[in-house]
Structure 1
Amino acid sequence: MTTEALLAYAHIMAFLMAATFLASETALCRMEWMNAAVVERLARVDLLYGISAALMLVTGLARTWWGMKGTAWYWSQPLLHAKVTLFVVIALMSIAPTLRFLRWRRDLRAHGALPSQEAVRGTRRLVMIEAHIMALIPLLAVFLARGVGTR
Protein backbone atom coordinates (compact mmCIF):
# COMPACT_ATOMS: atom_id res chain seq x y z
CA MET A 1 0.00 0.00 0.00
CA THR A 2 2.83 2.41 0.85
CA THR A 3 4.61 1.59 -2.41
CA GLU A 4 1.46 2.35 -4.40
CA ALA A 5 1.00 5.68 -2.63
CA LEU A 6 4.65 6.69 -3.11
CA LEU A 7 4.54 5.72 -6.79
CA ALA A 8 1.36 7.75 -7.28
CA TYR A 9 2.90 10.71 -5.46
CA ALA A 10 6.08 10.59 -7.54
CA HIS A 11 4.06 10.37 -10.76
CA ILE A 12 1.83 13.29 -9.80
CA MET A 13 4.82 15.41 -8.77
CA ALA A 14 6.58 14.69 -12.08
CA PHE A 15 3.43 15.73 -13.95
CA LEU A 16 3.12 18.93 -11.93
CA MET A 17 6.77 19.76 -12.55
CA ALA A 18 6.36 19.22 -16.30
CA ALA A 19 3.20 21.34 -16.34
CA THR A 20 4.97 24.10 -14.39
CA PHE A 21 7.93 24.23 -16.74
CA LEU A 22 5.71 24.09 -19.81
CA ALA A 23 3.63 26.96 -18.42
CA SER A 24 6.86 28.86 -17.77
CA GLU A 25 7.84 28.38 -21.40
CA THR A 26 4.52 29.75 -22.59
CA ALA A 27 4.87 32.75 -20.32
CA LEU A 28 8.44 33.51 -21.38
CA CYS A 29 8.00 32.91 -25.10
CA ARG A 30 6.57 36.33 -26.00
CA MET A 31 8.15 38.87 -28.28
CA GLU A 32 7.40 41.76 -25.94
CA TRP A 33 9.46 40.07 -23.21
CA MET A 34 12.21 38.69 -25.43
CA ASN A 35 15.72 39.69 -24.43
CA ALA A 36 19.04 37.93 -23.87
CA ALA A 37 18.12 36.77 -20.36
CA VAL A 38 14.84 35.28 -21.59
CA VAL A 39 16.56 33.38 -24.40
CA GLU A 40 18.97 31.85 -21.87
CA ARG A 41 16.15 31.12 -19.44
CA LEU A 42 14.01 29.44 -22.12
CA ALA A 43 16.80 26.98 -22.85
CA ARG A 44 17.19 26.17 -19.13
CA VAL A 45 13.44 25.87 -18.52
CA ASP A 46 13.10 23.61 -21.55
CA LEU A 47 15.82 21.34 -20.17
CA LEU A 48 13.94 21.14 -16.86
CA TYR A 49 10.73 20.44 -18.78
CA GLY A 50 12.44 17.57 -20.59
CA ILE A 51 13.80 16.13 -17.36
CA SER A 52 10.42 16.32 -15.65
CA ALA A 53 8.72 14.71 -18.68
CA ALA A 54 11.24 11.86 -18.52
CA LEU A 55 10.51 11.50 -14.80
CA MET A 56 6.79 11.43 -15.59
CA LEU A 57 7.37 8.58 -18.04
CA VAL A 58 9.62 6.64 -15.64
CA THR A 59 7.28 7.02 -12.67
CA GLY A 60 4.29 6.08 -14.84
CA LEU A 61 6.05 2.93 -16.01
CA ALA A 62 7.04 2.18 -12.41
CA ARG A 63 3.38 2.37 -11.42
CA THR A 64 2.49 -0.21 -14.05
CA TRP A 65 5.30 -2.53 -12.93
CA TRP A 66 5.12 -2.21 -9.16
CA GLY A 67 1.61 -0.87 -8.60
CA MET A 68 -1.13 -2.90 -7.00
CA LYS A 69 -3.07 -3.50 -10.22
CA GLY A 70 -0.08 -4.92 -12.06
CA THR A 71 1.30 -4.74 -15.54
CA ALA A 72 -1.28 -7.04 -17.14
CA TRP A 73 -4.19 -4.88 -15.96
CA TYR A 74 -2.65 -1.52 -16.84
CA TRP A 75 -1.46 -2.46 -20.31
CA SER A 76 -4.83 -3.97 -21.24
CA GLN A 77 -6.56 -0.62 -20.65
CA PRO A 78 -7.37 1.61 -23.64
CA LEU A 79 -7.16 4.73 -21.46
CA LEU A 80 -3.55 3.96 -20.57
CA HIS A 81 -2.78 3.63 -24.27
CA ALA A 82 -4.51 6.96 -24.88
CA LYS A 83 -2.41 8.59 -22.14
CA VAL A 84 0.81 7.17 -23.56
CA THR A 85 -0.20 8.25 -27.07
CA LEU A 86 -0.82 11.82 -25.91
CA PHE A 87 2.51 11.78 -24.09
CA VAL A 88 4.30 10.66 -27.27
CA VAL A 89 2.49 13.31 -29.35
CA ILE A 90 3.58 16.00 -26.88
CA ALA A 91 7.14 14.65 -26.82
CA LEU A 92 7.34 14.75 -30.61
CA MET A 93 5.85 18.24 -30.72
CA SER A 94 8.36 19.45 -28.14
CA ILE A 95 11.33 18.65 -30.37
CA ALA A 96 10.84 21.74 -32.56
CA PRO A 97 10.65 24.25 -29.67
CA THR A 98 13.66 22.64 -28.00
CA LEU A 99 15.73 22.93 -31.17
CA ARG A 100 14.59 26.53 -31.62
CA PHE A 101 15.48 27.51 -28.05
CA LEU A 102 18.93 26.01 -28.49
CA ARG A 103 19.39 27.74 -31.84
CA TRP A 104 18.24 31.07 -30.36
CA ARG A 105 20.73 30.68 -27.53
CA ARG A 106 23.54 29.76 -29.94
CA ASP A 107 22.72 32.77 -32.19
CA LEU A 108 22.54 35.04 -29.17
CA ARG A 109 25.92 33.90 -27.86
CA ALA A 110 27.57 34.04 -31.29
CA HIS A 111 26.06 37.21 -32.75
CA GLY A 112 23.94 38.85 -30.05
CA ALA A 113 20.86 38.19 -32.21
CA LEU A 114 17.39 37.76 -30.78
CA PRO A 115 14.81 35.57 -32.54
CA SER A 116 12.38 37.13 -35.00
CA GLN A 117 8.81 37.92 -34.09
CA GLU A 118 7.56 35.17 -36.43
CA ALA A 119 9.88 32.60 -34.85
CA VAL A 120 8.73 33.52 -31.35
CA ARG A 121 5.07 33.49 -32.34
CA GLY A 122 5.33 30.10 -34.07
CA THR A 123 7.24 28.56 -31.20
CA ARG A 124 4.79 29.90 -28.63
CA ARG A 125 1.92 28.40 -30.63
CA LEU A 126 3.55 24.95 -30.53
CA VAL A 127 4.19 25.21 -26.80
CA MET A 128 0.58 26.30 -26.21
CA ILE A 129 -0.72 23.33 -28.21
CA GLU A 130 1.47 21.03 -26.11
CA ALA A 131 0.07 22.57 -22.93
CA HIS A 132 -3.51 22.13 -24.07
CA ILE A 133 -2.94 18.51 -25.04
CA MET A 134 -1.18 17.91 -21.71
CA ALA A 135 -4.32 19.03 -19.89
CA LEU A 136 -6.13 15.97 -21.25
CA ILE A 137 -3.75 13.47 -19.65
CA PRO A 138 -4.98 13.96 -16.04
CA LEU A 139 -8.57 13.65 -17.27
CA LEU A 140 -7.76 10.26 -18.74
CA ALA A 141 -5.87 9.36 -15.55
CA VAL A 142 -8.89 10.17 -13.40
CA PHE A 143 -11.15 8.05 -15.60
CA LEU A 144 -8.64 5.20 -15.49
CA ALA A 145 -8.34 5.40 -11.68
CA ARG A 146 -12.13 5.39 -11.30
CA GLY A 147 -12.63 2.44 -13.65
CA VAL A 148 -14.41 4.47 -16.34
CA GLY A 149 -13.83 2.85 -19.71
CA THR A 150 -11.73 0.02 -18.27
CA ARG A 151 -11.87 -3.62 -19.24
Structure 2
Amino acid sequence: MNLEALLAGLHILAILSLVVFLGSQAALCRGEWMNAAVVRRLSRLDMIYGMTAVAVLLTGLARTWWGMKGLGWYWHQPLLHFKFGMFVVIGLISIKPTLTYRRWVKTLDGGGGLPGADDVRATRRLVMLQAHLLILIPIAAVMLARGVMTR
Protein backbone atom coordinates (compact mmCIF):
# COMPACT_ATOMS: atom_id res chain seq x y z
CA MET A 1 0.00 0.00 0.00
CA ASN A 2 2.85 2.41 0.77
CA LEU A 3 4.47 1.67 -2.58
CA GLU A 4 1.16 2.33 -4.38
CA ALA A 5 0.81 5.69 -2.61
CA LEU A 6 4.40 6.64 -3.39
CA LEU A 7 4.04 5.72 -7.06
CA ALA A 8 0.75 7.61 -7.34
CA GLY A 9 2.22 10.66 -5.62
CA LEU A 10 5.28 10.72 -7.88
CA HIS A 11 3.13 10.30 -10.97
CA ILE A 12 0.84 13.17 -9.93
CA LEU A 13 3.86 15.36 -9.14
CA ALA A 14 5.30 14.66 -12.59
CA ILE A 15 1.95 15.40 -14.27
CA LEU A 16 1.51 18.69 -12.42
CA SER A 17 5.07 19.69 -13.31
CA LEU A 18 4.39 18.93 -16.96
CA VAL A 19 1.24 21.07 -16.87
CA VAL A 20 3.13 23.96 -15.28
CA PHE A 21 5.84 24.01 -17.94
CA LEU A 22 3.44 23.55 -20.85
CA GLY A 23 1.23 26.29 -19.41
CA SER A 24 4.25 28.56 -19.05
CA GLN A 25 5.07 28.07 -22.71
CA ALA A 26 1.49 28.88 -23.67
CA ALA A 27 1.60 32.04 -21.57
CA LEU A 28 4.93 33.29 -22.94
CA CYS A 29 4.64 32.33 -26.59
CA ARG A 30 2.93 35.51 -27.77
CA GLY A 31 4.10 37.89 -30.45
CA GLU A 32 3.39 40.98 -28.39
CA TRP A 33 5.60 39.74 -25.52
CA MET A 34 8.46 38.38 -27.62
CA ASN A 35 11.94 39.60 -26.79
CA ALA A 36 15.37 37.98 -26.48
CA ALA A 37 14.79 36.93 -22.87
CA VAL A 38 11.46 35.29 -23.74
CA VAL A 39 13.03 33.36 -26.63
CA ARG A 40 15.68 31.93 -24.29
CA ARG A 41 13.13 31.26 -21.55
CA LEU A 42 10.86 29.40 -23.96
CA SER A 43 13.76 27.17 -24.95
CA ARG A 44 14.56 26.41 -21.29
CA LEU A 45 10.90 25.82 -20.44
CA ASP A 46 10.61 23.43 -23.36
CA MET A 47 13.67 21.49 -22.17
CA ILE A 48 12.16 21.17 -18.69
CA TYR A 49 8.81 20.24 -20.25
CA GLY A 50 10.56 17.41 -22.07
CA MET A 51 12.15 16.20 -18.84
CA THR A 52 8.80 16.27 -17.06
CA ALA A 53 7.25 14.29 -19.92
CA VAL A 54 9.90 11.62 -19.40
CA ALA A 55 9.12 11.66 -15.67
CA VAL A 56 5.39 11.25 -16.40
CA LEU A 57 6.13 8.31 -18.68
CA LEU A 58 8.51 6.61 -16.23
CA THR A 59 6.26 7.07 -13.20
CA GLY A 60 3.26 5.88 -15.20
CA LEU A 61 5.12 2.77 -16.31
CA ALA A 62 6.26 2.20 -12.72
CA ARG A 63 2.64 2.30 -11.60
CA THR A 64 1.70 -0.36 -14.14
CA TRP A 65 4.63 -2.60 -13.16
CA TRP A 66 4.69 -2.23 -9.40
CA GLY A 67 1.22 -0.89 -8.64
CA MET A 68 -1.46 -2.90 -6.88
CA LYS A 69 -3.41 -3.80 -10.02
CA GLY A 70 -0.33 -5.02 -11.83
CA LEU A 71 0.96 -5.15 -15.35
CA GLY A 72 -1.53 -7.73 -16.58
CA TRP A 73 -4.57 -5.69 -15.57
CA TYR A 74 -3.38 -2.29 -16.79
CA TRP A 75 -2.15 -3.34 -20.22
CA HIS A 76 -5.47 -4.97 -21.08
CA GLN A 77 -7.42 -1.77 -20.53
CA PRO A 78 -8.51 0.27 -23.58
CA LEU A 79 -8.43 3.51 -21.56
CA LEU A 80 -4.76 2.98 -20.71
CA HIS A 81 -4.04 2.57 -24.42
CA PHE A 82 -6.02 5.75 -25.10
CA LYS A 83 -4.03 7.64 -22.42
CA PHE A 84 -0.74 6.36 -23.74
CA GLY A 85 -1.77 7.13 -27.34
CA MET A 86 -2.72 10.70 -26.44
CA PHE A 87 0.59 11.08 -24.61
CA VAL A 88 2.44 9.96 -27.75
CA VAL A 89 0.37 12.28 -29.99
CA ILE A 90 1.13 15.22 -27.69
CA GLY A 91 4.81 14.25 -27.72
CA LEU A 92 4.86 14.19 -31.51
CA ILE A 93 3.15 17.59 -31.70
CA SER A 94 5.76 18.98 -29.28
CA ILE A 95 8.62 18.21 -31.67
CA LYS A 96 7.87 21.19 -33.94
CA PRO A 97 7.81 23.82 -31.14
CA THR A 98 11.01 22.34 -29.70
CA LEU A 99 12.81 22.66 -33.03
CA THR A 100 11.33 26.12 -33.53
CA TYR A 101 12.55 27.37 -30.14
CA ARG A 102 16.02 26.04 -30.88
CA ARG A 103 16.00 27.78 -34.27
CA TRP A 104 14.90 31.03 -32.63
CA VAL A 105 17.76 30.88 -30.11
CA LYS A 106 20.28 30.02 -32.85
CA THR A 107 19.04 32.94 -34.96
CA LEU A 108 19.20 35.26 -31.97
CA ASP A 109 22.72 34.10 -31.07
CA GLY A 110 23.79 34.56 -34.68
CA GLY A 111 22.81 38.22 -34.58
CA GLY A 112 19.47 37.73 -36.27
CA GLY A 113 16.29 39.24 -35.03
CA LEU A 114 13.33 38.00 -33.11
CA PRO A 115 10.90 35.53 -34.67
CA GLY A 116 8.16 36.89 -36.88
CA ALA A 117 4.58 37.20 -35.71
CA ASP A 118 3.38 34.40 -38.01
CA ASP A 119 6.05 32.01 -36.71
CA VAL A 120 5.15 32.82 -33.11
CA ARG A 121 1.43 32.41 -33.82
CA ALA A 122 1.96 29.01 -35.51
CA THR A 123 4.12 27.80 -32.64
CA ARG A 124 1.64 29.00 -30.04
CA ARG A 125 -1.13 27.18 -31.90
CA LEU A 126 0.80 23.89 -31.50
CA VAL A 127 1.47 24.55 -27.83
CA MET A 128 -2.21 25.25 -27.26
CA LEU A 129 -3.17 22.10 -29.17
CA GLN A 130 -0.97 20.10 -26.80
CA ALA A 131 -2.57 21.76 -23.80
CA HIS A 132 -6.08 21.06 -25.04
CA LEU A 133 -5.35 17.42 -25.89
CA LEU A 134 -3.73 16.97 -22.48
CA ILE A 135 -7.12 17.58 -20.87
CA LEU A 136 -8.35 14.25 -22.23
CA ILE A 137 -5.75 12.22 -20.35
CA PRO A 138 -6.90 12.88 -16.76
CA ILE A 139 -10.50 12.33 -17.82
CA ALA A 140 -9.51 8.89 -19.11
CA ALA A 141 -7.42 8.31 -15.96
CA VAL A 142 -10.34 8.98 -13.66
CA MET A 143 -12.58 6.72 -15.72
CA LEU A 144 -9.95 3.98 -15.58
CA ALA A 145 -9.52 4.37 -11.82
CA ARG A 146 -13.30 4.12 -11.34
CA GLY A 147 -13.59 0.99 -13.48
CA VAL A 148 -15.44 2.64 -16.37
CA MET A 149 -14.89 0.70 -19.62
CA THR A 150 -12.51 -1.72 -17.92
CA ARG A 151 -12.18 -5.38 -18.76
Which amino acid counterpart does residue 89 of structure 1 have in structure 2? Answer: V
Where structure 1 has 5 or more consecutive residues not aligned to the other structure, the ranges are none
Partners in 2 of 1:10 and 1:136 — Cα distance? 20
How far 1:112 moved relative to its partner? 3.8
2:72: which partner in 1? 72
Give the match for residue 52 of structure 2. 52
* 1:26-65 correspondence runs (5 A): 26-65=26-65
Deviations 1:125-144 (A, max 9, x none): 00000000001100100000
TM-score (norm 2): 0.99
Number of aligned residue pairs: give it: 151
Q: Between 32-41 and 105-114, report the one with greater CA deviation.
A: 105-114
Q: Secondary structure at the match of 1:149?
A: coil
Structure 2 counterpart SS, 1:111: coil
Partner Cα distance (2:99, 2:38) in 1: 16
C-alpha deviation, 1:103, in angstroms: 0.4
Residue of structure 1 equivalent to 2:102: 102
| Counterparts of 1:105 and 1:26, CA distance in 2 | 18
SS of the aligned residue for 1:44 comes to helix
Q: CA deviation at 1:13?
A: 0.7
Aligned to 2:147: 147
TM-score (norm 1): 0.99
Give the match for residue 6 of structure 1: 6
Aligned structure 1 segments of 4 or more residues deviating by more than 2 angstroms? none
SS at match of 2:110: helix
* Cα distance between partner residues in 2 of 1:6 and 1:127: 30
Deviations 1:91-126 (A, max 9, x none): 000000000000000100111410010000000000
Q: What is the aligned partner in structure 2 of residue 113 from structure 1? A: 113
Amino acid of the residue matched to residue 79 of structure 1? L
Separation of aligned partners in 2, 1:87 and 1:77: 16
Q: Which amino acid aligns with 1:99?
A: L
1:38-70 CA-partner distances (Å, limit 9, x unpaired): 000000000010000000000000000000000
